[in-house]
A and B are shown apart, each in its own frame.
Chain A
Amino acid sequence: MKTVDLTINTDLTRRILTGFIRSEITRMGFSRAVIGLSGGIDSAVSCFLAAEALGGENVLAVRMPYRTSSADSLEDAQKVIEAAGVQSLTVEITPMVEPLFQRFPDMDNMRRGNIMARQRMIILYDQSAAFNGLVVGTGNKTEILLGYTTLYGDSACALNPIGDLYKTQLRQLAEALGVPESIRRKAPSADLWAGQTDEGELGYTYAEVDRLLYLLVDQRYTPQECIEAGFEPLFVHRVVERMRRNQFKRILPPIAKLSNRTIGYDFLYLRDWGT
């Protein structure tokens, strides 16, 4: 099996990412950030980075539990709030999402999970206006590539500092930032229903899939070369297909071209245009 080293220099990472948060928030005319804090490692890392970049008083961490959310999640989120020294708010989503669940009683877990993720997005964007801060994203490279995310839900944000770090690398950064151990040790979960874990749902571990994704994406290996490097053919094909199928979550919806200049094709400006 080919050795894949995903080690990152956490000092350098921290420096680039805090600078990014500061730059991209202040040049848009803001000085504050809003973050949905789940109690998991990804949002903890984003929260620590934002607090370091902007000062804890300028970061609002929002906990948005549902009635089945684990008590550990809420407690772990509280640990982050205290350790990072950020402002906090808890908004329970149960009374907001239950009426929709009741309207469609045969709704499966996926639909319910998506509704919860989107309800949280609504709260974060409302707090964005109320707190006068931008929503900082919490999606990592692994889940973005695998599409393990709800479109217009947890993927919605104004900027994402951690989207180019694999889960394995985030764990390193979390340790360097001082994210509490109970958060770093527990199994990653979207916590949309009891007992859900990322690795259970995906069918493989982050440690495995990160190494494969690193070869496929960063090192431009072909699927065949990954198999020759020692990965199971079925695993490689499943991951490649999952990446392809979820491309729609990674781009803006295509606009049908009619004119000579069309948004998305030949109307090209960075978001930082003029700043």
Chain B
Amino acid sequence: MKLTLGMAQINTVLGKPEENLEKHLQFAHQAAQSGADLLIFPELSLTGYVLQDLTPAVAHRPRPDDPLFRPLLQASQKIDLLVGFVEEDTRNRFFIAAAYLSAGEVRHVHRKVYLPTYGLFDEGRFFAWGDAIQAFETRFGRAGVLICEDFWHASPPYLLWLDGADLFLFTSASPGRGLNSAPILESARWVEHINRAYASLFTAFVAHTNRVGYEDGLNFWGGSTVFDPNGDLIVQAPYFEEGLTLAELDLNQLHRTRARLPLLRDERTALVQRELNRILTSRTSGK
């Protein structure tokens, strides 16, 4: 089975969801026309990234009666969409979230679990922490969504793997940093390393969509990637440039790779659970 996956490596208008919505619909249309089955947008693609006090003003609920989601759900009749937004829950907590839309329905919402609040990041000041990491069914098999800092930690991808995800959909608004003599920034190098590593370790497809553009002095470097279950790069979008990048995923590669390298088969989850319990209950463990 083949999946044509599109990555919408876009720039966004900071704090103007209705303007960003227009771009989402244009990219969705263009991707569908190009034969894509699924289109992934970056983290906070409907709002922009450094929202600070704009956070409550740009929050939405992923429901058919929401003015932002109504047209997106309509567009999802033609192409599956993963969009980034600020979610306000029924008790008025705000989350960095990503919604997977398919055939006019919201199939899954992931709320960012790890909110970086250090260095240039201040997410924990403005957002609530997501509390679940769950894979979900798509037309193309079981998938999992993580947002930026979520996959800087090893455990969320691992949990998705155990929960059945063969298709890892990662999104970022990754500020470029770490300039040295290398042709790419340290932040880009790090993200590419770990994406490749997850694809290799979990013998799975890993698609990462990052945004481009600037917010004040921050640059977003793009360079979206898809790695296959062998850890080989299928496609990489250009650095710093807005655009749609398509990747053809031969899902049968899962079969071939896992026949060669049965890491999933041999994963000893009961041992992991036992040791985790011991580590977390032991007073002397190094944390």
Interface residues of A (CB under 8 A from B): 5, 7-9, 11-13, 15-16, 19-20, 23-24, 164, 266-275
Closest Cβ of chain A to B88, distance in Å, is 19
Complex CA gap A16/B223 in Å reads 14
Known A-B contacts A7-B180, A11-B183, A16-B240; A271 and B216 likewise in contact (beta carbons under 8 Å): yes
Q: Which of these, A23, A270, A274, contacts B52 with CB under 8 Å?
A: A270
Complex CA gap A241/B41 in Å reads 47
B214, A23: Cβ atoms closer than 8 Å = yes
Known A-B contacts A7-B180, A9-B180, A11-B183; A269 and B216 likewise in contact (beta carbons under 8 Å): no
Complex CA gap A267/B53 in Å reads 7
A9, B183: Cβ atoms closer than 8 Å = yes
Of B10-18, B26-34, B129-137, B249-257, the one contacting chain A is B10-18
Interface residues of B in 164-194 (CB under 8 A from A): 176, 179-185
6 smallest beta-carbon distances between A and B, as pairs: A268-B52, A7-B181, A23-B214, A270-B216, A268-B53, A272-B14
B180, A8: Cβ atoms closer than 8 Å = yes
Known A-B contacts A20-B214, A20-B217, A24-B214; A274 and B180 likewise in contact (beta carbons under 8 Å): no
Complex CA gap A5/B181 in Å reads 9
Residue ID in chain B nearest A10 by CB atoms: B181
Closest Cβ of chain A to B86, distance in Å, is 15
A270, B214: Cβ atoms closer than 8 Å = no
Output the residue of A8, A13, A19, A272 with the most chain B CB within 10 A.
Answer: A272
B185, A12: Cβ atoms closer than 8 Å = yes
Q: Which of these, A9, A268, A272, contacts B216 with CB under 8 Å?
A: A272
A-B contact pairs, 12 of them (CB 8 A): A8-B179, A9-B181, A9-B182, A12-B179, A12-B185, A16-B219, A19-B219, A20-B217, A24-B216, A164-B217, A273-B15, A274-B15
- Which residues from chain A contact B231 at a C-beta distance below 8 Å? none
Complex CA gap A20/B221 in Å reads 12
B14, A270: Cβ atoms closer than 8 Å = yes
- Which residues from chain B contact A267 at a C-beta distance below 8 Å? 53
Residue ID in chain A nearest B176 by CB atoms: A16
- Which residues from chain A contact B16 at a C-beta distance below 8 Å? 274
Closest Cβ of chain A to B121, distance in Å, is 14
Please classify the interface of chain A as helix (H, G, I), strand (E, B), loop, or mixed, using the class held by over half of its residues.
loop
Complex CA gap A108/B217 in Å reads 37
Chain A CB within 8 A of B105 CB: no
Interface residues of B in 207-228 (CB under 8 A from A): 213-217, 219
Complex CA gap A9/B240 in Å reads 16
Closest Cβ of chain B to A226, distance in Å, is 20
Residue ID in chain A nearest B217 by CB atoms: A20
4 additional A-B residue pairs with CB within 8 Å, beyond A9-B181, A12-B179, A274-B15 = A13-B179, A268-B52, A272-B14, A275-B13
Q: Which of these, B181, B183, B215, B240, contacts A272 with CB under 8 Å?
A: B215
Complex CA gap A268/B182 in Å reads 34
Residue ID in chain A nearest B185 by CB atoms: A12
Complex CA gap A5/B180 in Å reads 8
- Which residues from chain A contact B180 at a C-beta distance below 8 Å? 5, 7-9
Residue ID in chain A nearest B183 by CB atoms: A9
Chain A CB within 8 A of B54 CB: yes
- Which residues from chain A contact B217 at a C-beta distance below 8 Å? 20, 164
- Which residues from chain A contact B183 at a C-beta distance below 8 Å? 9, 11-12
Output the residue of B13, B50, B181, B213 with the most chain A CB within 10 A.
Answer: B181
Residue ID in chain A nearest B55 by CB atoms: A268
Closest Cβ of chain A to B183, distance in Å, is 5
Closest Cβ of chain B to A25, distance in Å, is 11
Residue ID in chain A nearest B48 by CB atoms: A272
B185, A270: Cβ atoms closer than 8 Å = no
Q: Which of these, B13, B14, B240, contacts A15 with CB under 8 Å?
A: B240
A23, B53: Cβ atoms closer than 8 Å = no
A9, B179: Cβ atoms closer than 8 Å = yes
- Which residues from chain B contact A270 at a C-beta distance below 8 Å? 14, 50, 52, 215-216
- Which residues from chain B contact A266 at a C-beta distance below 8 Å? 53
Residue ID in chain A nearest B126 by CB atoms: A268
- Which residues from chain A contact B219 at a C-beta distance below 8 Å? 16, 19-20
Complex CA gap A274/B52 in Å reads 12
Output the residue of B15, B176, B214 with the most chain A CB within 10 A.
Answer: B214
Complex CA gap A269/B15 in Å reads 10
- Which residues from chain B contact A24 at a C-beta distance below 8 Å? 214, 216
* Contact flags B32-70 to A (C-beta < 8 A → 1, else 0): 000000000000000000101110000000000000000
Residue ID in chain A nearest B212 by CB atoms: A19
